Amino acid sequence: MNKPIRFILVGLVVVLLGGLAIGVAHAEEVVLTYVTQQETMCFDPAKSIDETELGNVFNTYDLLVYPLETGEAPVPWLAESWDVSGDGLTYTFHLRKGVLFHDGTELTAEDVAFSMDRMLRINMGFSWLWTGILDPGDVEVIDPYTVSFHLNKTFGPFIATLVQFGIVNKDLIMANMKEGEFGEFGDYGQEYLETTVAGSGPYTVESVELGDRIIFRKFDNYWRGWEEGQIDKVRWLIIPEAATMVVMMKKGEADMSEQWLSPEAFEDMAATPGVVVKENPQMQLFFLQMNNQKPPFDDVNVRKAISYAFDYATAIEAIFKGGAQAEGSVPVLMPGHNPDITVYQRDIEKAREYLAKSKYSKEELKAMTITYVYVYGLEIERKIGLLLADNLTEIDFNVEIRSELWGRITDMATKPESTPHFTAIYHTAKYPSPDSHTYLIYNPKAWGNYISMSWYENPEVTELTDSARTTADTEERYRLYGEVQRITTDEAAALFIANPVLRRAFRDHVKDYRYPGILGYDLVFYNLKIEK
Amino acid sequence: MYMVLVLFGVSLLIFFLARVMPGDPARLALGPEATQEQVASLRHKLGLDRPLYTQYYVFLRGLFKGELGMSLITKRDVFKDLIQRLPATLELVMTAMLIAILGGIPLGVLSALHKDRTIDQISRIFAFAGVSFPRFWIGIMFQIAFAYILGLLPITGRISGDPPTRITGLYLLDSLIARDFPAFVDSFKHLLLPSLTLSLSPLAQITRITRANMIEQLRKDYSIVMRTIGMPEVVNIYKYMLKNAFTSTLTVIGLLTGWMIGNAFVIEQVFSWPGMARYGVNSVLRNDFNAVVGVTLVIAVGYVVINLIVDLLYGYLDPRIRLKR
């Protein structure tokens, strides 16, 4: 064989083998397609609030502490350990060494301090968690791996709130900042973080098509390492039509669905071979706020009568199609839940007994129109309204059901006069502490938003929730929260209905799904594996 | 001048309407648990605590700098969102209109030439159905038939793999510029069902109006003379009659194009098409007032530009209009 021909043949073999190798490598890439209706696309940990945004953050950033599925207090994560000063005002975190940001630089205490200052100064997202607790400059860098948070006052749930604190890469942000309102920090890199990330989480953002898709790619140098079967690439697709999403799951064009589909859609998917619907308890309360400042709900006996008249079993079995009956305002899964409290069951005789004790006469009550307001488009809430209206006719109440846009409901929530008698509300924990389901509902300092539409006021409960916040000892804090739960259920501050389950559909090759009960955390794709 | 006045009027109207929608935009942006202080701080940052006329002045000033204010949903400037979203809607609308014109005009002509015969009856039923059937229903039926059962076309989205390098944002064009032919074919397949669904109603209307105008032209003296002297039918129909009949069809095409930009929402929703119409409706539902203003302005500009093009084309089609000027 002459030389040129041999040369060409060798070249061809090399190209073929190379192509084969690339092909094999490509074929081995583990890809997961996630489908959701929610469109929001924000990658900035200082601005994220809803499930989609939080999912983006938890996949691309890391946190000092991490929540557990058991609902217990968060565990060390980037912070390997921490010390709390005797007065409960200083938290000193000892950081893990060798954690890299996506650009290869090391995460240090400087980044932690910068991230908290940035969060507080931008004053959006979850910064409300630390309003009045921390001010910019209150986080001190002791050495590259030690950082201290100096709190303005004792704040019991502080560690729990850190599950919403993503750490950004200071140097990368500073190198990409634009002119802005924050002086030497410009815009704090807000424009930069519109479509990219500056984190150390398991995934980086490969591309973003607004309103269409986000492509996440695994970060090879992630500090927890990688195992076979974990997801290399995530296709996060926005599918606004629920019916289309169901078809995609059934056809195998998607591997994982969002949680907001109807129970009927999940039933439909579960009946399809190859699709598995997983149900997990969550730290979520579905309740009907009863406006305690509006007659006749200003009378505890009327509220108790309603609590006894409602048919909880039908609501959970026929409407939610799963989940547990709520035991007070704190979800059963939440640490600090008090199991020794009044749990109302349907008992019409008792309902009538309490009505007889009411300051309102039967005729007065019959003449009143009780309004029930739910969020426009939420079918479950509409059905709950119908069930409530039906149940309350047995004690001669006249219920008017009305839907409103969410924006209108948040307006109504600002004043007791504009708040309807009943408002259907879902309240999901954003941090694993009973504080979110007690202080935010019952303490007048937190009034004015949808969580506090009961306008329940009791000086003893106010005192207890204030004290709990400033109590550093966990056991004592839980005791105080437990007392709040006892009083507020005794007084039927609201109609506590359910702790619904969180459902997601998966193709059956997706394994190891777990949910720590906090909104957005089950979207951490690092936890998932695909078995071929 | 009139264009500027129209746009000024639209901006004024929509600006004030967007600010009286129920719900506090700052509260919605920050989330329900945000403190009153935080809400007040964001209201200040967004200028919502200032008098409306000052807000409008700031808005107009920003408009000249290419800024439409922060979207409360995406937390970036609305202008950037629109730049991202508009090409998807334009690609969909332009393709749908092309289908409607290429289908509607021949069908209208054919219908007129065979008035009251089988072909005309079929065309009339088709036109009636095209206008009457809800678009979301047709879209879902197409998805079930062509995507789910036959598996010929994709169910949703604009492209299966990675999009072509962004130049215009129109995937068909960008893939051609990049000479990425697989991406072109893939984008085209994705575009087919949504654009066909969107085109049905305009197609039906164009068919109806072309038919009516052509019947009118067929009765005119010049058309009878042409036929009598033995002018070939194709020349008579397409060179003389259709040109005369086309003026009112053009008006309808102009109006329909403007209408489609704003009303592609249902199609974008069903086919997960990441366009501007869907963005606009979501903005209304979530009280994203800056985005509502931005989308409305773009639609208004769309109408104005299309009307201008139609006016210019009138002159081309009818020399009397040109000479009057």
Q: Minimal CA–CA distance to B307: which of B260, B258, B274?
A: B258
Is the pLDDT confidence value at B188 over 70? Answer: yes
Model-level ipTM above the cut of 0.85:
no
Is the pLDDT confidence value at B193 over 60? Answer: yes
Query: Using CA atoms, how far apart are residues B162 and B165, in angstroms rounded to an integer?
Result: 9
pLDDT digits (tens, 9 = 90+) for A99-139: 999 999 999 999 999 999 999 999 888 998 998 899 999 99
Instruction: Pick A448's closest partner by Cβ from B36, B74, B88.
Output: B36
Collapsing DSSP to helix, strand or coil, A144 comes out as coil
Is the pLDDT confidence value at B37 over 60? Answer: yes
Query: Using CA atoms, how far apart are residues B286 and B72, in angstroms rounded to an integer?
Result: 9
Predicted confidence band of residue B283 (pLDDT cuts 50, 70, 90): confident
Query: Using CA atoms, how far apart are residues A198 and A168, in angstroms rounded to an integer?
Result: 6
Residues 442-471 in A contacting B (C-alpha not used; CB under 8 Å) = 448-451
> Could A448 and B21 be called an inter-chain contact, meaning their C-beta atoms sit closer than 8 Å?
no
Mean predicted confidence (pLDDT) in B291-313: 89
Tell me what pLDDT residue B4 has.
Answer: 83
Residues 6+ positions from A360 with CB-CB distance below 8 Å: A295, A296, A299, A302
User: Which of A49, A57, A210 best tests the B interface by mutation, with the highest count of B CBs <10 A?
Assistant: A210
Mean predicted confidence (pLDDT) in A218-238: 95
Nearest CA in chain A to B161: A235
Tell me what pLDDT residue B20 has.
Answer: 77
Which range (A90-94, A248-252, B249-253, B261-265) has the least confidence? Answer: B261-265
> Could B157 and A440 be called an inter-chain contact, meaning their C-beta atoms sit closer than 8 Å?
no
Question: Is the peptide bond preceding residue A296 cis, with omega within 30 degrees of 0?
Answer: yes
Task: Give the pairing of strands A324-325 and A494-499.
Answer: antiparallel
CA distances from A526 to A60, A230, A522, B89 (A): 10, 7, 10, 35
Instruction: Pick A244's closest partner by Cβ from B34, B272, B282.
Output: B272
Residues 6+ positions from B142 with CB-CB distance below 8 Å: B193, B196, B197
Predicted confidence band of residue B143 (pLDDT cuts 50, 70, 90): confident
Residues 183-222 in A contacting B (C-alpha not used; CB under 8 Å) = 190-191, 194, 207, 209-213, 215
Tell me what pLDDT residue A381 has.
Answer: 95
Which is more confident, A397 or A27? A397
Looking at chain A, the whole-number percentage of residues with pLDDT higher than 70 is 94
Give the minimum alpha-carbon distance from A302 to chain B in angstroms, rounded to a whole number.
28
Q: Minimal CA–CA distance to B272: which of A505, A209, A41, A43?
A: A209
Mean predicted confidence (pLDDT) in B71-82: 87
- Assess contact for A134 and A152: CB atoms under 8 A: yes
Positive or negative, the CA dihedral A43, A49, A52, A57 is positive
Q: A232 phi and psi, to 5 degrees?
A: -85, -35
CA A258 to chain centre: 13
> Could B162 and A215 be called an inter-chain contact, meaning their C-beta atoms sit closer than 8 Å?
yes
- Assess contact for A32 and A393: CB atoms under 8 A: no
Query: Using CA atoms, how far apart are residues A188 and A193, in angstroms rounded to an integer?
Result: 9
Mean predicted confidence (pLDDT) in A237-241: 88
Is the pLDDT confidence value at B272 over 90? Answer: no
Tell me what pLDDT residue A118 has.
Answer: 97
Mean predicted confidence (pLDDT) in B76-88: 91
- CB of A128 within 8 Å of a chain B CB? The answer is yes
Mean pLDDT for chain B overall: 87
Q: Where are the alpha helices (DSSP H) in A362-454?
A: 362-367, 379-393, 406-412, 439-442
Nearest CA in chain A to B75: A42
Amino acid sitting at position B231? M
Which is more confident, A399 or B262? A399
Mean predicted confidence (pLDDT) in B139-160: 87
Query: Using CA atoms, how far apart are residues A164 and A45, in angstroms rounded to an integer?
Result: 8
Tell me what pLDDT residue A17 has.
Answer: 47
User: Which of A51, A56, A209, A378 best tests the B interface by mutation, with the highest count of B CBs <10 A?
Assistant: A209
Is the pLDDT confidence value at A70 over 70? Answer: no
Task: Give the pairing of strands A284-290 and A494-499.
Answer: antiparallel
Query: Using CA atoms, how far apart are residues B6 and B11, in angstroms rounded to an integer?
Result: 9
Tell me what pLDDT residue B269 has.
Answer: 86
What superfamily would CATH give domain B87-283? Answer: MetI-like (1.10.3720.10)
User: Which of A54, A410, A431, A435 best tests the B interface by mutation, with the highest count of B CBs <10 A?
Assistant: A410
Which is more confident, A315 or B35? A315
pLDDT digits (tens, 9 = 90+) for A436-477: 899 999 999 888 888 899 999 999 999 999 999 888 888 899
Looking at chain B, the whole-number percentage of residues with pLDDT higher than 90 is 27
Query: Using CA atoms, how far apart are residues A495 and A232, in angstroms rounded to an integer?
Result: 45
Side-chain-side CA neighbours of A432 within 13 Å: the count stands at 25
Tell me what pLDDT residue A11 has.
Answer: 53
| Gyration radius (Cα) of chain A, Å | 26
Tell me what pLDDT residue A161 has.
Answer: 93
- Lookup result for tokens 């699709």: A275
Copy the structure tokens of residue A340: 């020794």
- Assess contact for A307 and A354: CB atoms under 8 A: no
pLDDT digits (tens, 9 = 90+) for A136-179: 999 999 999 999 999 999 998 899 999 999 999 999 999 999 98
Residues 6+ positions from B217 with CB-CB distance below 8 Å: B223, B241, B242, B244, B245
Tell me what pLDDT residue A23 has.
Answer: 44
Is the pLDDT confidence value at A19 over 80? Answer: no
DSSP A445: G
pLDDT digits (tens, 9 = 90+) for A367-413: 999 999 999 888 899 999 999 999 999 999 999 999 988 778 887 88
Which range (A134-148, A185-199, A294-308) has the least confidence? Answer: A185-199
B52-86 b/e with 16+ CB inside 10 Å = b? eeebbeebeebbeeebbbbbbbbbbbbbbbbebbb
Residues in chain B: 325
Mean pLDDT for chain A overall: 90
- Assess contact for A213 and A236: CB atoms under 8 A: yes
Instruction: Pick A410's closest partner by Cβ from B24, B148, B269.
Output: B24
Copy the structure tokens of residue B112: 């007129």
Q: Please, is A255 exposed, middle or buried when counting C-beta atoms within 10 Å of its C-beta (0-12, 13-18, 19+)?
A: buried
Residues in chain A: 532
Q: Which domains does chain A possess?
A: 31-37+201-280+502-530 (3.40.190.10), 62-185 (3.90.76.10), 284-499 (3.10.105.10)
Positive or negative, the CA dihedral A404, A408, A410, A412 is negative
Predicted confidence band of residue B281 (pLDDT cuts 50, 70, 90): confident
Is the pLDDT confidence value at A2 over 70? Answer: no
Q: Tell me the domain boundaries of chain B.
A: 2-64, 87-283
DSSP class per residue in A261-286: S-HHHHHHHHTSTTEEEEEEE-SEEE
Mean predicted confidence (pLDDT) in B49-63: 89
Mean predicted confidence (pLDDT) in B203-211: 91
Which range (A201-205, A358-362, A367-371, B215-219) has the least confidence? Answer: B215-219
Predicted confidence band of residue A16 (pLDDT cuts 50, 70, 90): very low
> Could B22 and A407 be called an inter-chain contact, meaning their C-beta atoms sit closer than 8 Å?
yes
Copy the structure tokens of residue B96: 């749908």
Helices (runs of H) and strands (runs of E) counted in chain B: 16, 0
pLDDT digits (tens, 9 = 90+) for A320-372: 999 999 999 999 988 899 999 999 999 999 999 999 999 999 899 999 999 99
